[in-house]
Amino acid sequence: MRHLPNTAGAGFKPEHFAAIREDAGAVGFLEVHAENYMGDGGLPHAQLAALRADFALSLHGVGLSIGGPGRLNADHLARLKRLCARYEPESFSEHLAWSSHGMDYLNDLLPLPYTAETLSLVCDHVDEVQAVLGRRMLLENPSTYVLFEQSDMAEVDFLRAVAARTGCGLLLDVNNVFVSCTNHRMDPRAWLAAFPLHLVGEIHLGGHAEEALPSGPLLIDAHGSPVADPVWALYAEVIAQGGARPTLVEWDNDVPEWPVLRAEAGRAAEILARGGMALARAS
């Protein structure tokens, strides 16, 4: 199976379609949310088919509720399988989170305690996804705003265990690392030092919003602004340590004109190029 290139990509927004078509080679790959392409036909599929011909593609799910109890939604998994068969994306990824309660879909990535029970559940779900899709998936670390007394594993250990048991890869969202660590008054560099960088198949970068709490800042994963400077700094360290990885810039709300998003991806591409050179010198 083909892989995403070790270059910078952008989250595709339909309003950028014409601009991207006239800007060939602007980014190394595009990523779409799978659920936006689960209609039967029409413009979304026409656009994706056209872009697919020119770009490597990452299919990113937001609705599978891998961190939820019970069985995965079989209808939804079948829809994902059809999408994978139709577009043959270089990568499929989902989140360490839950988003459904029974049949109720909540349209948000909600947190779970990290316990032996949830580890076993998440591993079963990842196994099922990989078996049905017939491919290795990437699991993304979440942004979180609360902690749970029930948790008896660190997030990094949980992710590492899922990858070890299921063979899945990891999607490292550096903004999520910064958001969660800031919110839980932890050192993001310590988090990253414990994280298995060699399992990373893709990196996400995105903007966050900030609120003030008495104990300090509360960061919110809003994807409505440029990537913050401390996140760029962390990202550069990750690349310097682990080498180049396919890197996506996400911008889902208050979406800017294409050149703005393209420039953010360009900044990631520069860091990827520098990181690659640093690694070459070191070896």
Contact between 129 and 98 under an 8 Å Cβ cutoff? The reply is: no
Binding mask 9-48 for other proteins (x = CB under 8 A): --------------------------xx-xxxxxxxxx--
Using CA atoms, how far residue 203 sits from 45, 50, 81, 86, in Å, is 26, 25, 23, 24
Q: Which of 280, 259, 196, 270 is nearest to 18 (CA)?
A: 259
Contact between 91 and 4 under an 8 Å Cβ cutoff? The reply is: yes
- Report CA 99 to chain centroid distance, whole Å: 15
Q: Which of 227, 272, 281 is nearest to 251 (CA)?
A: 227
Q: From CA 214, how far away is CA 11, in angstroms rounded?
A: 35
Q: CB-wise, 24 or 146, nearer to other proteins?
A: 146
Q: Compute the least distance from the CB of residue 220 to other proteins, in Å.
A: 6
Stretch of residues binding other proteins (CB under 8 A), selected from 103-111, 124-132, 239-247, 256-264:
103-111
Task: Extract the tokens encoding 127.
Answer: 């196994």
Q: CB-wise, 25 or 102, nearer to other proteins?
A: 102
Q: CB-wise, 162 or 272, nearer to other proteins?
A: 162
| CA torsion through residues 252, 20, 26, 62, sign | positive
Show contacts with other proteins in window 45-84 (CB under 8 A): 45-46, 62-65, 68-70, 73, 75-76, 79
Among 24, 53, 214, 283, interactor with other proteins by CB under 8 A: 214
Among 12, 183, 203, 249, interactor with other proteins by CB under 8 A: 183
Q: Compute the least distance from the CB of residue 42 to other proteins, in Å.
A: 5
Question: What end-to-end distance do the CA atoms of the chain give, in Å?
Answer: 28
Among 2, 21, 184, 189, interactor with other proteins by CB under 8 A: 184
Stretch of residues binding other proteins (CB under 8 A), selected from 2-10, 109-117, 188-196, 234-242:
109-117
- Which DSSP letter does residue 32 get? E
Q: Compute the least distance from the CB of residue 118 to other proteins, in Å.
A: 6
Q: Regarding beta strands 200-206 and 247-250, do their DSSP bridges make them parallel or antiparallel, or are they unpaired?
A: parallel
Residues near other proteins, by CB under 8 A: 35-36, 38-46, 62-65, 68-70, 73, 75-76, 79, 98-101, 103-108, 110-113, 115, 117-118, 121, 145-150, 183-185, 213-215, 218, 220
